[in-house]
Structure 1
């Protein structure tokens, strides 16, 4: 049995390294901090309010973000809402919160290339109530929308 040719081994190694570079790899976890004191952030406001935020220096191409959302019910009235993610004050991703106790898991990859030169990039996750009860509930103002990040990875 003959030993593999050194040039063939080198070519194989270069091909494997190139494939790894193209595939990308996880760089770091982005810490997001709640703007209130509860573990599952709730909001019963009818205007958007920030529940989670963090500041970062974007050195990677993508922020992979996953959220957990849940609506509410007060005295038999279902409460739904809306959520949005902002980068530097601009809405880059948004959706709705189902007006039931159904838990929704959403995720996406946000493009950070337009922000690569920024020294500090503010990431905000906001929500608001759009339907449901107007009294009672968690804080007395009607149904509450629950939202929490599952992961925030810089890729």
Structure 2
């Protein structure tokens, strides 16, 4: 059976430990990807409602300190009228953790959010919802007939 021979020299052992710690620091923190699932009633990640509607959601066990989310949103264009709106991230159906706007420019926006999960660490589960609403644009026509739609999706979600 092979044996591991340890170097008796303390300085060599310290140098070896320092190089191992440096390699671990260069590797960075371990990250877990969080999948989101679509919830739109139209089975597509678009919504034309003027009140907040959940497009994507996930349920997680908050074992890490933060959740980093990247998203993409775009408004609709109906008869040369661009649709704008707003988005928010809702935690446990009650707390707005992040929010922003979707400009009525018919171009993509890529917002990001870093959410502190520390207050939820004692919870067994946490529901995270990405919601959108239409605030400007056409009121008829569009993808589903109720005016312009706001489309959105998470690009990444990492538990850090």
TM-score of the two chains, using structure 2 as the length reference: 0.85
The residue that corresponds to 2:83 in the other structure is 79
- The answer to whether the aligner puts 1:12 opposite 2:7 as a matched pair is no
CA distance in 2 between counterparts of 1:118 and 1:29 reads 19
Q: Which residue of 1 aligns with 2:54?
A: 50
| Structure 1: unaligned runs, 5 residues or longer | none
Q: Which has the higher strand share?
A: 1
Query: Is residue 146 from structure 1 mapped to residue 151 from structure 2 by the alignment?
Result: yes
Query: How far apart are 1:141 and its partner, in Å?
Result: 0.6
Q: How many pairs does the alignment contain?
A: 149
From 121, 124, 139, the counterpart of 1:119: 124
Equivalent residue of 1:123, what SS? strand
Query: CA-to-partner distance for each residue in 1:112-136, whole Å, 9 max, x for gaps?
Result: 1111111010000100000111000
Shift of 1:16: 2.5
CA-CA distance at 1:13 after TM superposition: 4.0
Question: Equivalents in 2 of 1:56, 1:97: separation in Å?
Answer: 27
Gaps of 5+ in 2: 1-8
Q: Show the 5 A alignment for 1:126-145.
A: 126-145=131-150
Q: Which has the larger radius of gyration?
A: 2
> Which structure 2 residues correspond to residues 82-97 of structure 1 after superposition, within 5 A?
82-88=86-92, 89-97=94-102
When normalised by structure 1's length, the TM-score is 0.87
Cα distance between partner residues in 2 of 1:124 and 1:134: 25
CA RMSD of aligned residues (A): 2.2
Q: For 2:69 and 2:137, how far apart are their aligned partners in 1?
A: 28
Give runs of aligned pairs for residues 22-61 of structure 1, distance below 5 A: 24-26=29-31, 28-36=32-40, 37-38=43-44, 41-61=45-65
